[in-house]
Every structure is written in structure tokens, then in C-alpha cells.
Amino acid sequence: MLKIHVGVNVTDLEKSIQFYKKVFNSEPVKVKTDYAKFLIDEPDLNFTLNLKDAVSGNQVGHFGFQVDNLEEVLQHKNRLEKLGFFAREEMEVTCCYATQDKFWVTDPDGNEWEFFYTKGDVETMKTESTCCTTQPIKVEIKTSSSCC
């Protein structure tokens, strides 16, 4: 079995738990004072929240869920909007050498998540979407032990 693991540093564990419960449509399997863990079956994901005093910048470009069709994109968008999230929509955009329909939500620490459907590949890179911006991304390398 191969399960993807993503660990995200957060500054407000409770707010982040509430955000991800709604996004994943799932309860965490473990919650401690400085940690929470979600085990998601679809997609197969081990996702953890790690409480930190401060989070400086976003160390990744973004996270996302690729779905099979536009209807799934819209189902997730409608579900999250009904839960009070602002969903930034990008339909029929070209980025990452593909034409996509997508929307974005942002967690309490500024991490962006896209739900997207790839309609087809294209040969030229365009920057019609947030995910393909040509702006430099600030990356901080910290020396500390990591855990899962």
C-alpha cells in the first residue's frame, strides 16, 4: 500500500481542525494539544497538522485534489460554499500545460487547496491560474527533526 503523507505546520490547531474536517468531510483520527491526524481513504492520504508558534510563509506552492470530471469539481465547491467557505473559481483555464476547471479554498494559515479536473494537455505553458504564477515563491529551510 502506498499512502501519501502531508504534514502542515499551523498556528491555530482548532481552527485548522475545523477547516480540514469540512474540506476532507472527515473527522481526525487523533487529536493532541499540538497535533492532529486525518487518515483519508479517498484519496489515500495521511494528513497531519503540527502546531507551531509561528508559520512564516508558505513552504509549498499549493495542495490539490484531482477529480474525474467537472461535476465532481462543482459538487465539492457547492459543499464547501454551503459550509461557509469562499471558493475562488477558475474555469476553462490553462496552466501547468493543461486545460482545467477548478476552484480554490485557503486554510487558516494561508495554504491553498485546489479541486481540479484536467480536461486535456496543451503544448504551451500559460499562467491563467494561481497555481502557475511566475511570481517567486519564498522557501525557508529550517533545521529541525520531523515526525509523522
pLDDT of residue 20: 95
pLDDT tens digits for 101-112?
A: 999 999 998 888
Pairwise CA distance, residues 25 & 86, whole Å:
16
Name the 3-class secondary structure at 81. helix
The most confident of the ranges 9-13, 50-54, 77-81, 134-138 is 77-81
Split into its structural domains, the chain has a count of 2
pLDDT of residue 128: 64
- 81 φ, ψ to 5°? -65, -40
Residue 124 lies in a domain: yes
- 46 with 21, same domain: the answer is yes
pLDDT category, 59, cuts 50, 70, 90?
A: low
- 48 with 69, same domain: the answer is no
Pairwise CA distance, residues 105 & 146, whole Å:
27
Nearest to 111 by CA among 22, 10, 27: 10
- 50 with 70, same domain: the answer is no
pLDDT tens digits for 123-146?
A: 776 666 665 554 433 323 233 444
- 66 with 116, same domain: the answer is yes
Task: List the domain range (segments joined by +) for residue 120.
Answer: 61-129
Position 147 pLDDT exceeds 60: no
Grid coordinates standing for 45?
A: 492520504
- 30 with 47, same domain: the answer is yes
Q: Phi/psi zone of residue 84: left (φ > 0), alpha (ψ -120 to 50 degrees), beta?
A: left
pLDDT tens digits for 70-95?
A: 999 999 999 999 999 999 999 998 87
Nearest to 145 by CA among 23, 4, 7, 38: 7
Task: Work out the average pLDDT over 6-10.
Answer: 89
Instruction: Calculate the CA 83 to chain-centre distance.
Output: 17
> At 94, which CATH number?
3.10.180.10
Position 69 pLDDT exceeds 90: yes
Pairwise CA distance, residues 51 & 54, whole Å:
9
- 16 with 47, same domain: the answer is yes
DSSP string, 1-59: ---EEEEEEES-HHHHHHHHHHHHTS--SEEETTEEEEEETTTTEEEEEEE-S---S-S
Q: Rounded to two decimals, what is the model's pTM?
A: 0.69
- 69 with 47, same domain: the answer is no
- 76 with 113, same domain: the answer is yes
- 116 with 73, same domain: the answer is yes
